[in-house]
Amino acid sequence: MQTLAAQVATTFLGDAAALVNAFGRIVTHIVMAPIERIANACDVAGILASRKAAPARRREATLLWLNAAHGSRRGRGSRRRGGGCLGFLGELT
């Protein structure tokens, strides 16, 4: 059983660490904002937007794989999108 003093100290240290972490995120956001604006202005090929969308595509592919692995069946009329680096081309047809 913990003593009350130890519990208060542990709680205080956790809150202090969260406060320092939040302060660091705020400072990082303020410092990086002008750099983000310059990078977005220079991104004429749309590379940054595609990199931001990559985790969502990866998550969607993982969910499709899990559904297929667990025996979910697709209807006859549904199409299966290709994977890999050319998987987004299925959206163009």
pLDDT tens string 30-46: 999 999 899 888 887 78
The more confident residue out of 67 and 34 is 34
pLDDT of residue 26: 95
8 Å CB contact between 79 and 90: yes
Is 55 strand, coil or helix? helix
Q: What CA–CA distance (Å, rounded) separates 84 from 65?
A: 13
Write out the two tokens for 11.
């709680």
pLDDT of residue 79: 53
pLDDT of residue 87: 63
**Residue 34: its H or E element:** helix 4-42
pLDDT of residue 77: 47
Q: What CA–CA distance (Å, rounded) separates 42 from 28?
A: 21
Query: Where do the structural domains in the chain lie, given as residue ranges?
Result: 1-42, 54-93
Say if residue 10's pLDDT is above 80: yes
pLDDT band at 92 (very low <50, low <70, confident <90, very high): low
Say if residue 68's pLDDT is above 70: yes
The percentage of the chain sitting over the pLDDT mark of 70, rounded to a whole number, equals 72
